[in-house]
Every structure is written in structure tokens, then in C-alpha cells.
């Protein structure tokens, strides 16, 4: 889906009209949280999640965390539901297509063994049996079947909670008070202040485009396209680095989040790029969903910790 514009405005008539449905959605979420008894595993579980629908930077954050733990000598395994993937699992991602396991598991599998399972608890057990010492759950904050030793909520400090309303009136999956009460830490993406950081330990990330990718594109005209939660962030990131790399960045083309590009879509993009004398560029996540990649360039995210540390977040937890 493409993020509705009224999710940005709390006084929107559409948002107000949908608020009763949002209240119902919130009540169901709270009920699910109370009725489940999470299963405690024999290894630590770290959950990377968020409170809003759409992209906040969960997968890049999970990849960065995985790399940090691997650097400490830990055997890390990722577990994902494999959104929009056809396989029920549990399956270890290896040579699969995005149609089978989803796009995000293909990214995670570049870092560490990654399990896809519609039932996350079954996927987590498969990871334990395969030798995982630490499990990272990707996008599991609203899943109550597995006990989490450390739940980290990712918050985009520019977007925060949108219009502050519950889905479908707004982007919230649950109330911030309810969601943050289950968190042991925050992952803040961006440099804006966030008012609740004083109550929870946090790390702050800055997402930059990968230097090597931009050097490949130096002095070129770019036609960006993206089918992610908030594609405008990707387009703006390219614009922010245009001067440093002598780039001309054309107006980006939006597609729905997790969009499956057809041959016709790619043909239209190629034709538009040719007319504009431009090179097509997209995100790593979109790259995973392209049936053919010739003539299309990927710009990966390169996250840096600019404040806080992982050790600060899990201080006192037994890993």
C-alpha cells in the first residue's frame, strides 16, 4: 500500500471518520497482548519492531545489530514472518526468491542464517535446533507467541507516530504507551529529538547512502523509484548527496510498499529513463523484487550509530 496522506494530519476529516475503526483495532491489539502466553526459548531473543505501519528502518537496524553481535563471536540467526512470501516454513533462506520468502529475509540472509516461518515460534525453534546462540526477530513487537529478552522499538524521528491515530485512521499498530511499555530500548532513526528517550536507553542511527554505490553513479542524472513504506525519504537522501557527487536527481516515482514489479512496469521505467537521459536507481529492498536488474542500479543504506551504544541498551541482560 501507498501511505495515505491523511496519516500525516491529525485533523483530517478522513482520519476522524475512521477513528472508531482505529479504536476497535486498538482494543483487539490489547486483547491479543493479554491472552497469549509467550514461549520462553533456551537462547536470548532480541526483537526489532516498531509501532507504525510501514517503513521505519527496522530491517537495516536489524542487520546492523546482527553484525555487531557477530563481531562479538555470537552465532546469530534471524527469524522473520516473510511478509508476502508464499512459503509457510520454517525454511532456511538459501537461494529462494522474494516470491517465496519476501524481500526483507533476502537482505537479512546476507548477514546471518535467516529463517522464515508464518508461525514465528516454530521458526525460532528451528533456529535453536540449528545452533543459534541469539535470535533476532525482525518486526515482531506485536507478536506475542515468543518471550523477548530484549525488545527494541525503531522510531523514525522525522515521522514519529504520524497523526497519532490507530490504524486505519492513522499509522499506529497500537498506542505508543502500550507499545513502549513492553520495550527495553529504542532505536532512533534521524537527528530530531524524541520526547520519550529519557525513560528508555537508546541508540541513534543516521542512514546514509553507501559511498561505493554513489561513487559508481557520480556525475550522472538519476531517476529514482521505490516501493517502500516512505519512499520520499529515499528520494530526499539522494537529493541531499547530489552536490557532493555531482548528481542530478529527477523526481522520484512511488510504488506501493513491497510492490511486485511487472515486466511492463520495468519497461515503462526504462523508457522514461531513456527519454530523460537518466540512470534508474532504487533501494536494496526494491532490488530484491526485480525480475531483471539490467540497467538498474541499487543504492544501499549505510547506517551509523551517532549516539548511544548497543552495550548501553542490553546492560544487565544476560547474553
C-alpha cell at position 67: 553484525
89 is in an annotated binding site: no
53 is in an annotated binding site: yes
Please identify which residue in the block is written with the cell numbers 516498531: 50
- Tell me how far apart the alpha carbons of residues 237 and 242 are, in angstroms, rounded to a whole number: 9
DSSP 245: T
282 is in an annotated binding site: no
76 is in an annotated binding site: no
E strand intervals along 219-299: 221-226, 248-249, 253-254, 279-283, 296-299
Q: Decide if 76 contacts 124 (C-beta within 8 A).
A: no
59 is in an annotated binding site: yes
227 is in an annotated binding site: no
126 is in an annotated binding site: no
Report, in this order, helix, strand and coil percent for the chain, each rounded to 5: 35, 20, 45
55 is in an annotated binding site: yes
CB proximity list for 239: less than 8 A, separation 6 or greater: 249
- Tell me how far apart the alpha carbons of residues 287 and 110 are, in angstroms, rounded to a whole number: 14
Residue set of the binding site for ATP: 52-59
Residue set of the binding site: 52-59
Amino acid at each position: 500500500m501507498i501511505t495515505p496522506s491523511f496519516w500525516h494530519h491529525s485533523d483530517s476529516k478522513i482520519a476522524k471518520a475512521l477513528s472508531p475503526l482505529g479504536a476497535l483495532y486498538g482494543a483487539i491489539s490489547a486483547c491479543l497482548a493479554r491472552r497469549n502466553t509467550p514461549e520462553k526459548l533456551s537462547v536470548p531473543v532480541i526483537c526489532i519492531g516498531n509501532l507504525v505501519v510501514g517503513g521505519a528502518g527496522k530491517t537495516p537496524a536489524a542487520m546492523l545489530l546482527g553484525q555487531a553481535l557477530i563481531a562479538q563471536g555470537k552465532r546469530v540467526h534471524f527469524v522473520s514472518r516473510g511478509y508476502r512470501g508464499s512459503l509457510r516454513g520454517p525454511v532456511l533462506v538459501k537461494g529462494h526468491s522474494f516470491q517465496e520468502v519476501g524481500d526483507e529475509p533476502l537482505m537479512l540472509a546476507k548477514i546471518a542464517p535467516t529463517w522464515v516461518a508464518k508461525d514465528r515460534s516454530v521458526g525460532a525453534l528451528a533456529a535453536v535446533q540449528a545452533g543459534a546462540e541469539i535470535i533476532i526477530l525482525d518486526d515482531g513487537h506485536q507478536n506475542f507467541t515468543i518471550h523477548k529478552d530484549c525488545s527494541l522499538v525503531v522510531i523514525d524521528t522525522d515521522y514519529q507516530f504520524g497523526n497519532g491515530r490507530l490504524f486505519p485512521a492513522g499509522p499506529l499498530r497500537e498506542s505508543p504507551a502500550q507499545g513502549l511499555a513492553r520495550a527495553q530500548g529504542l532505536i532512533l532513526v534521524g537527528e530530531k529529538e524524541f520526547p520519550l528517550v529519557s525513560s528508555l536507553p537508546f541508540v541513534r542511527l543516521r542512514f546514509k547512502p553507501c559511498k561505493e554505490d554513489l561513487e559508481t553513479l557520480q556525475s550522472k542524472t538519476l531517476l529514482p523509484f521505490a516501493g517502500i513504506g516512505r519512499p520520499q525519504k529515499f528520494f530526499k537522501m539522494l537529493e541531499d548527496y547530489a552536490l557532493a557527487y555531482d548528481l542530478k536527481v529527477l523526481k522520484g516515482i512511488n510504488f506501493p510498499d513491497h510492490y511486485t514489479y511487472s515486466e511492463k512496469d520495468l519497461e515503462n521505467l526504462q523508457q522514461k529513463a531513456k527519454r530523460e537521459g537518466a540512470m534508474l536507481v532504487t533501494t536494496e529492498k526494491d532490488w530484491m523484487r526485480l525480475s531483471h536488474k539490467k540497467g538498474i542500479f541499487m543504492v544501499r543504506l549505510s547506517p551509523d550509530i551517532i549516539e548511544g551504544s548497543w552495550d548501553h541498551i542490553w546492560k544487565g541482560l544476560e547474553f
